[in-house]
Amino acid sequence: MVALLYSTRLSVVGMVSHTLAIICTIFRLIYRGWMHHLWWEDAWAAFALIADVVCLACIWLDSAISSWALTISFTTVLWAARMSVIFSIIPVANHSGSKIHKQITYLIAVSFACMWAALLAQKIHICEFHSCHMGKSVALSLLITDVIADACLVAAPLYLLKNVGLSRSKKTLVQSAFGASLLITAITITHSILLLKFYNTTTLMFAHIKAALSLIICNLLVIVTFIYRVYFKETLDLDRPFASNGVFTSVIVTPMGSGANTLRSLSFQERITAQIGGMKSKDEAEDASVRYAEEGTSTENN
């Protein structure tokens, strides 16, 4: 009867958490595709989605099959979601104009890949020789790697977004979305403590929640962007280039030696300056900058 209760509880928790994560990811991919903003971060999210579907299916599979599948899929969901988050930060670093910023973000991505591979190798070895009974070594490895990874996912955006052209309220909103990675750390600590003591259905339930939550968090920034667009009728988009002067901008490239294009570019820039100068608030100036940047880009393409 107790076993049946645990099994039912695991099925409900796993189904609810994974279903929510899958819905969020599907929405993210559809929205990003509709906005024509699909990039590597979305590819990682799609990869994590596939692994999360496997996690959901394993709830009803035979334990002999699900043990191996869960060992790989749990780790894959978690780290593919983290790769998605760090790849969403890379464009900010690329447009910051700082070589150090680029190196930091790429170094974080490489370190994530190394920790991902190391954990997979360790878990596969345990499944091969110890029937997938994760013990103290896995608990310590998970705790160390998760704390390091989540700290990077919180610290990197806080550092890189300091000079991004967003108002304080918008910047706080974006940083909060990245800061949600700390929730994974909280669950990791609980999960690791359970692994150190015993491995039962409760431990497995926390593993399902951890995987699903990591996928939800990697989609959080896209969902926040969508909500901001719908309810506040303003642009909050990290896909645009950034300038250090506090507003969104775009680079207007003009061929060398082309006087007409050069004059047109200067005239366009003067028009932006005049219009923004007459704005009453910083937010209005930002929105005007975005609007004119888009118009300027389309004009130059024509």
pLDDT in tens, 122-172: 999 998 887 788 878 888 999 999 999 999 988 887 777 776 655 565 666
Tokens of 268: 């366009």
pLDDT of 37 higher than 50: yes
More confident residue, 173 or 31: 31
Q: What is the mean pLDDT of residues 29-46?
A: 92
pLDDT averaged over every residue in the chain: 75
More confident residue, 57 or 195: 57
Cα–Cα distance measured from residue 210 to residue 78, given in angstroms and rounded to the nearest whole number: 8
Instruction: Identify the CA nearest to 251 among candidates 299, 286, 301, 296.
Output: 296
Work out the angle between the directed axes of helices 282-301 and 259-277 (0-180°, nearest 10): 160
Q: Are 146 and 133 in contact (CB under 8 A)?
A: no
More confident residue, 84 or 232: 84
How confident is the model over 258-268, as pLDDT tens digits?
444 433 433 33
Cα–Cα distance measured from residue 203 to residue 190, given in angstroms and rounded to the nearest whole number: 9
Tokens of 12: 């409900």
pLDDT recorded at residue 2: 35
Half-sphere exposure of 296 (CA within 13 A, CB side): 24
How confident is the model over 69-79, as pLDDT tens digits?
888 999 999 99
Instruction: Identify the CA nearest to 114 among candidates 143, 74, 90, 83.
Output: 83
Backbone angles phi, psi at 245, to 5 degrees: -85, 5
Check residue 146 and report its DSSP letter: H
pLDDT recorded at residue 128: 85
One-letter amino acid of 149: A
Tokens of 17: 């958490």
Cα–Cα distance measured from residue 196 to residue 174, given in angstroms and rounded to the nearest whole number: 35
Tokens of 8: 């039912």
pLDDT of 63 higher than 80: no
How confident is the model over 80-134, as pLDDT tens digits?
999 999 998 888 788 777 788 889 899 999 999 999 999 999 999 998 887 788 8
Cα–Cα distance measured from residue 210 to residue 205, given in angstroms and rounded to the nearest whole number: 9
One-letter amino acid of 36: H
Say how many C-beta atoms besides its own lie within 10 A of residue 121's C-beta: 10
Classify burial at 58, counting beta carbons within 10 Å of its beta carbon; exposed 0-12, middle 13-18, buried 19 or more: buried
More confident residue, 299 or 16: 16
Check residue 157 and report its DSSP letter: H
How confident is the model over 233-251, as pLDDT tens digits?
655 555 444 433 333 322 3
| Total H helices, total E strands in the chain | 11, 0
pLDDT of 294 higher than 90: no
Cα–Cα distance measured from residue 145 to residue 40, given in angstroms and rounded to the nearest whole number: 23
Tokens of 265: 């570019």
Instruction: Identify the CA nearest to 116 among candidates 82, 88, 70.
Output: 82
Within 8 A by CB and 6+ apart from 190, the residues are 206
